Chains A and B, each alone.
Chain A
Amino acid sequence: MAQHNTLRPDLKHIADQIKPGSRVLDLGCADGELLAWLQANKAVRGIGVDVDVMSIVSCVEKGLNVIQADMESGLQNFEDGSFDYVVLSLTIQAMHNIELILQEMLRVGKVGLVTFPNFGFWENRWQILIGRMPVSETIPYEWYNTPNIHFCTVKDFDKLLGKMGMKVDKQVVLHQGETVDFLPNLFGSLALVQFSQA
């Protein structure tokens, strides 16, 4: 096994959930870091999706299969149940149609894996309390230049899944790459949720 430490912390935790040899769709795959790692270390069959052409170039350079597409309109390219895992890492907070993408994830795949910045993290709460929009490690933008439009807390996300007839199979909350077990919605800055149809 190659070392994990070359992977971004949230990607490392995603990689841990994925069984060897499975089929993985990585939405918002950026430069293909996760897929390249999974392909090399877990022999997955992966496809990336990204809207940015330079991400496509990076993935093609790495020898990955990648499709340039805007996920806001769904995942029409993919048939029902064609993947074991569908990953959406640190992207959902910048998307318009959250419910559509979650539905689509569980249409084309069995298991969804989402990571997002936890708005309930205490530093964020504190900054709101003192009258400022939060800027923190996982939310590094100022209010006027952020691509993020849909923030939520760990609790909010779970509630949405429930409302949509989906269930949380596993939840890992992190801060600076380390798992947070005590009051995760307060002390975790980044959440990983694995979910499936209830």
Chain B
Amino acid sequence: MSNDSVGIVIPQKIEFNEPITLSSGAVLPRYELMVETYGELNADKSNAILICHALSGHHHIAGKHAESDKAAGWWDNMVGPGKPIDTNKFFVIGLNNLGGCHGSTGPSSINPETGAPYGSSFPVVLVRDWVETQARLADRLGIQQFAAIIGGSLGGMQALRWTITYPERVRHALVIASAPKLTAQNIAFNDVARQAIITDPEFHGGDFYQHGVVPKRGLRLARMLGHITYLSDDGMGEKFGRMLRSGEYKYGFDVEFEIESYLRYQGDKFSTMFDANTYLLMTKALDYFDPARHYGGSLAEAMRQAEAKFLVVSFTSDWRFAPSRSREIVKALLDADRSVSYAEIESQHGHDAFLMEDAPYMAVMRAYLNNVAKEIA
């Protein structure tokens, strides 16, 4: 493994026995969070960075669980010794959010009260509920204030929410390829994905576990649709164009174009790895997110609660959370007289650009976080 990798990491499951009342009113008497950390927490516990994951993400951000793992964590190009989120300087925390399917308590977990998977009985969780559980995790680790909270997409929404709910606990928020709330079009895409899952006969109203089946077809379609929205037209055109797998038309409905093959592969892979109920929950958390709602519809008023300094980043070809959405966040922060810098990175990788290697993007992140490191030193 290269020396800018965090190397082999071991995730841990942390148990919380104090009940949590969720935004919906539902109460979870106890829950577990799957957590992975990198680097060392310093003596005054001031160098912690929380990374919040997006729709299909999890706690495994960097490094490998075993030497034989094919791929490293989902943000390995950003997190590691000497990387923009430098684990030589920061103590970096990744977790799988409540409701997830990578080890934290979620719909596929066993409900201790019934001895069966939660399934359809798992409550809806909102971004603010995640922030609450993350705050409890910080308490457990003895972290009073994060040097930075960083997230892309849905992760950026969590970072934003943190600065509003716990202003004194966030020094810096890095909000990447995100939005202050979804548009009707965003919600529409999410609902098509949910309908694909819910109408799969093997979904069984969310209680498919007991039937020993998985609504694979629904998940697969949901992921294929999602994937289209993560890429840009130009990016897709450049990568696949109209390339045919066999070089000629077959006049049928099997896979012919490379893009079909790619999407089906992504869909198939996802449908064996991800939990259908978690997918529904994550998309609902996205749909409901709207921090301005509690401040008379004014995002600036919401951001006035914040004490953090902000870095907002968007990508030119991202049409799922377009640069204009990030500019709304920037405008609100400026109106609220908050400290903010904004970079609009030229990229053809669409929404996925926030996960990709890109020199100016990395340079902005590195420059910003270097100053954060100096500030807490």
Interface size for chain A: under 10, 10 to 19, 20 to 34, or 35 or more residues? 20 to 34
Question: Please, which residues of chain A bring their CB within 8 A of the CB of B334?
Answer: 47, 67, 77-79, 82
Q: Are B371 and A68 in contact (CB under 8 A)?
A: no
Q: Once bound together, how far apart are the Cα atoms of A56 and B344, in whole Å?
A: 9
Q: Once bound together, how far apart are the Cα atoms of A79 and B330, in whole Å?
A: 12
Within 8 A of A (CB), among B299-356: 311, 327, 330-331, 334-335, 339-346
Question: Please, which residues of chain B bring their CB within 8 A of the CB of A78?
Answer: 334
- The yes or no answer to B368 lying at the interface (CB within 8 A) is yes
Q: Are A60 and B368 in contact (CB under 8 A)?
A: yes
In the complex formed, the residue of A with least CB distance to B314 is A68
Q: Once bound together, how far apart are the Cα atoms of A65 and B368, in whole Å?
A: 10
- By secondary structure, the A interface counts as mixed
- The yes or no answer to B297 lying at the interface (CB within 8 A) is no
- The yes or no answer to B364 lying at the interface (CB within 8 A) is yes
Q: Once bound together, how far apart are the Cα atoms of A69 and B363, in whole Å?
A: 18
Q: Once bound together, how far apart are the Cα atoms of A65 and B331, in whole Å?
A: 13
Please give the distance in Å from A74's CB to the nearest CB on chain B.
13
Q: Once bound together, how far apart are the Cα atoms of A130 and B368, in whole Å?
A: 51
Question: Please, which residues of chain B bring their CB within 8 A of the CB of A57?
Answer: 343, 360, 363-364, 367
Number of A-B contacts defined by CB within 8 Å: 55
Q: Are A54 and B360 in contact (CB under 8 A)?
A: yes
Knowing A67-B330, A77-B331, say if A56 contacts B343 (CB, 8 Å).
yes
Q: Are B360 and A66 in contact (CB under 8 A)?
A: no
Q: Are A68 and B344 in contact (CB under 8 A)?
A: yes
Q: Are A53 and B339 in contact (CB under 8 A)?
A: no
The count of chain B contact residues (Cβ–Cβ below 8 Å) is 21
- The yes or no answer to B21 lying at the interface (CB within 8 A) is no
- The yes or no answer to A63 lying at the interface (CB within 8 A) is yes
Question: Please, which residues of chain B bring their CB within 8 A of the CB of A63?
Answer: 371
Q: Are A59 and B345 in contact (CB under 8 A)?
A: no
Please give the distance in Å from A144's CB to the nearest CB on chain B.
26
Question: Please, which residues of chain A bring their CB within 8 A of the CB of B363?
Answer: 54, 57
In the complex formed, the residue of B with least CB distance to A82 is B334
Question: Please, which residues of chain B bring their CB within 8 A of the CB of A64?
Answer: 341
Knowing A61-B370, A77-B327, say if A53 contacts B346 (CB, 8 Å).
yes
Please give the distance in Å from A116's CB to the nearest CB on chain B.
27
Question: Please, which residues of chain B bring their CB within 8 A of the CB of A54?
Answer: 360, 363
Please give the distance in Å from A96's CB to the nearest CB on chain B.
19
Please give the distance in Å from B334's CB to the nearest CB on chain A.
6
Q: Are A53 and B343 in contact (CB under 8 A)?
A: yes
Q: Once bound together, how far apart are the Cα atoms of A77 and B344, in whole Å?
A: 14
Q: Once bound together, how far apart are the Cα atoms of A65 and B339, in whole Å?
A: 7
Question: Please, which residues of chain A bring their CB within 8 A of the CB of B327?
Answer: 77
Q: Once bound together, how far apart are the Cα atoms of A77 and B340, in whole Å?
A: 12
| A53: contacting residue among B335, B360, B368, B370, CB under 8 A | B360
Q: Once bound together, how far apart are the Cα atoms of A69 and B342, in whole Å?
A: 9
Question: Please, which residues of chain A bring their CB within 8 A of the CB of B341?
Answer: 56, 59-60, 64-67
In the complex formed, the residue of B with least CB distance to A59 is B341
Please give the distance in Å from B366's CB to the nearest CB on chain A.
9
Please give the distance in Å from B343's CB to the nearest CB on chain A.
5
| A77: contacting residue among B330, B368, B370, CB under 8 A | B330
In the complex formed, the residue of A with least CB distance to B335 is A79
Question: Please, which residues of chain A bring their CB within 8 A of the CB of B344?
Answer: 53, 68-69
Within 8 A of A (CB), among B273-314: 311
Please give the distance in Å from B317's CB to the nearest CB on chain A.
15
How would residues 69 to 101 of chain A score, 1 for a CB under 8 Å from any chain B CB and 0 otherwise? 100000011110010000000000000000000
Please give the distance in Å from B355's CB to the nearest CB on chain A.
18
Question: Please, which residues of chain A bring their CB within 8 A of the CB of B342?
Answer: 56, 66-69
Q: Are A60 and B345 in contact (CB under 8 A)?
A: no
Question: Please, which residues of chain B bring their CB within 8 A of the CB of A47?
Answer: 334
Q: Once bound together, how far apart are the Cα atoms of A60 and B343, in whole Å?
A: 10
Please give the distance in Å from B285's CB to the nearest CB on chain A.
29
Known: A57-B364, A68-B344, A69-B342. 15 other contacts (CB 8 A): A47-B334, A53-B345, A53-B360, A56-B341, A56-B343, A56-B364, A57-B367, A60-B367, A64-B341, A66-B341, A67-B330, A67-B334, A67-B340, A67-B341, A69-B344
- Top 8 A-B pairs, shortest CB-CB distance: A60-B367, A61-B367, A53-B360, A57-B363, A67-B342, A68-B344, A56-B343, A63-B371
A-B contact pairs, 17 of them (CB 8 A): A47-B334, A53-B360, A53-B364, A56-B343, A57-B363, A57-B364, A60-B311, A60-B371, A61-B367, A61-B370, A65-B341, A67-B340, A68-B343, A68-B344, A69-B342, A76-B331, A77-B331
